[in-house]
């Protein structure tokens, strides 16, 4: 009855179906969905479903894989998984074997936000020592934002209302999209190089976390940190915080608040100017009054003490001092002349001529004694030298040679010969005479016996 039919067992069917599924898909695929029916048995494995609006698929993530997760999966969490397509043969269920899981959507962005925030905080980019003080009254404000967004309209509206005379330089940039962060960082650096303004506002209107993500980029954070100009951020709404807010010198909750932070209220300034004007005017009148009173008092004193009278008194005083000076000079001259005469007499009584004459006679006597002692010493030395010379000549071998004797030495080793037996016939000798020497060859020797 079953002839010609290929009958599968359930196990075989599930096994071959698993092989077809695994071969029909890439080794790894990425799937995004919402976690549901999450189970965490004591084995440490995760079993859950991934679903979207119209379908779901069973998933298994084994213990050795989920230990690497940097977050805690929960039901309702939107995730992105890297998995292998497979079939659980025991129940014939289509499933995904998950190798890797990441948070998707806002969850992944918030995780990336926290990781970057912690890293930059560890580097010290958020420290208060890095913050710059804002100018009390900027000469010009730079605004880095979209030229068509609501943020620039709000900022300009606030500045026109509060301080219309404030100049504004707009640096247009995209505030959303893949190119936004590099362009914002480049524009902040450009504004810093140009130095067209005293302070920079980095602004954007409200939006989702993904819309504001360009201001959570590391390149923007480092551009703000390296900027030499003070930077104020006004990004999103009051509840929105970005990495740029932490790095900036000051954060404003909105773009409008950033503009209010940097611009004084013209009404307050006008009131302050009016107050200062009144105070200045009052002080000027008080000063003029005091100066006028002092001038009147000086005129009165000048009238009482006319300069002509004072000049006469001073002239008379000058004549009197001149006479006193002449008298003092004459008295001093007399004293000096008397003192000079007294010193001259004392000098004449104590002249050194006699003493110098005695010293000169003593010098001549000592010179004669020195010459005599020197001659006597030289004569004694000459006698001792002659005696030593005679003694040296008496023992000198040269004296012996001068009497006709000679000294014979072997030519080869300069050995002095004392016995004829020490020399052989044909050897060469050196014979030293009183004057000169002889080179000789021995023809015959004779001993003392012979």
pLDDT digits (tens, 9 = 90+) for 206-243: 877 778 888 988 999 999 999 999 999 999 888 778 88
pLDDT band at 4 (very low <50, low <70, confident <90, very high): low
pLDDT band at 170 (very low <50, low <70, confident <90, very high): very high
Per-residue model confidence (pLDDT) at position 220: 93
Backbone angles phi, psi at 124, to 5 degrees: 90, 15
| More confidently predicted of 117 and 396 | 117
* pLDDT on residue 2: 58
Average confidence (pLDDT) over 398-426: 81
For 14-24, write each residue's pLDDT tens digit. Answer: 788 888 887 87
What's the pLDDT score for residue 322?
85
- Burial string for 216-238 (b: 16+ CB within 10 Å, else e) reads bbeebbbbbbebebbbbbbbbee
d(CA 185, CA 116): 17
- At 107, the pLDDT band (50, 70, 90 cuts) reads low
Residue (of 23, 264, 216) closest to 108 by Cα position: 216
Q: What number of helices (H) and strands (E) belong to the chain?
A: 12, 13
All domains of the chain, ordered by start, with CATH?
Answer: 10-104 (2.40.50.140), 111-264 (3.40.50.261), 393-450 (no CATH)
Percent of the chain that is helix, strand, coil (3-state, to 5)? 50, 20, 30
Among 58-67, 203-212, 343-352, the range with the most confident prediction by mean pLDDT is 58-67
Residue 38, pLDDT score: 93
Between the CA of residue 62 and those of 39, 44, 58, 102, 174, what are the distances in Å?
12, 7, 13, 15, 44
Indicate whether 104 pLDDT > 80. Answer: no
Name 58's Cβ contacts closer than 8 Å, sequence gap at least 6.
47, 48, 49, 88, 93, 94, 95, 96
């Amino acid at each position: 009855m079953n002839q010609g039919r290929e009958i599968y067992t359930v196990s075989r069917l599930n096994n071959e179906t698993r092989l077809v599924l695994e071969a029909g898909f890439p080794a790894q695929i990425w799937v995004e969905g919402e976690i549901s029916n999450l189970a965490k048995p004591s084995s440490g494995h995760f079993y859950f479903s991934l679903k979207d609006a119209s379908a779901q698929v069973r998933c298994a993530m084994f213990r050795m894989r989920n230990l690497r997760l940097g977050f805690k999966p929960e039901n309702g969490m939107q995730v992105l998984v890297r998995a292998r397509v497979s079939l659980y043969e025991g129940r014939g269920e289509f499933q995904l074997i998950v190798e890797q899981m990441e948070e998707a959507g806002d969850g992944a962005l918030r995780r990336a936000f926290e990781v970057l925030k912690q890293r930059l905080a560890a580097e010290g980019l958020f420290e208060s020592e890095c913050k710059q003080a804002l100018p009390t009254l900027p000469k010009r404000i730079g605004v880095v934002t979209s030229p068509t967004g609501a943020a620039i309209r709000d900022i300009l509206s606030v500045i026109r209302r509060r301080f219309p005379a404030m100049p504004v330089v707009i640096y247009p940039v995209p505030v959303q999209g893949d190119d936004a962060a590099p362009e914002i960082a480049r524009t902040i650096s450009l504004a810093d190089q140009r130095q067209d303004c005293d302070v920079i506002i980095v602004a954007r209107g409200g939006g989702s976390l993904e819309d504001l993500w360009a201001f959570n980029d590391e390149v923007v954070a480092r551009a703000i940190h390296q900027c030499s100009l003070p930077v104020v951020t006004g990004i999103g709404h009051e509840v929105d915080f970005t990495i740029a807010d932490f790095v900036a010198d000051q954060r404003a909750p909105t773009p409008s608040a950033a503009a209010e932070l940097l611009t004084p209220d013209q009404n307050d300034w006008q009131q302050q100017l009016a107050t200062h004007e009144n105070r200045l005017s009052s002080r000027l009148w008080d000063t003029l009054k005091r100066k006028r009173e002092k001038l009147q008092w000086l005129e009165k004193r000048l009238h009482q003490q006319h300069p002509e009278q004072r000049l006469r008194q001073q002239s008379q005083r000058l004549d009197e001092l001149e006479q006193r000076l002449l008298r003092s000079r004459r008295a001093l001259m007399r004293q000096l002349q008397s003192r000079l005469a007294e010193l001259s007499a004392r000098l004449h009584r104590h002249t050194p001529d006699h003493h110098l004459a005695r010293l000169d006679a003593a010098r001549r006597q000592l010179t004669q004694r020195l010459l005599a002692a020197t001659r006597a010493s030289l004569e004694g030395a000459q006698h001792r030298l002659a005696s030593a010379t005679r003694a040296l000549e008496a023992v000198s071998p040269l004296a012996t040679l001068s009497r006709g004797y000679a000294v014979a030495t072997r030519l080869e080793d300069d050995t002095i010969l004392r016995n004829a037996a020490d020399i052989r016939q044909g050897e060469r000798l050196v014979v030293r005479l009183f004057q000169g020497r002889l080179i000789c060859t021995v023809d015959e020797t004779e001993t003392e016996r012979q």
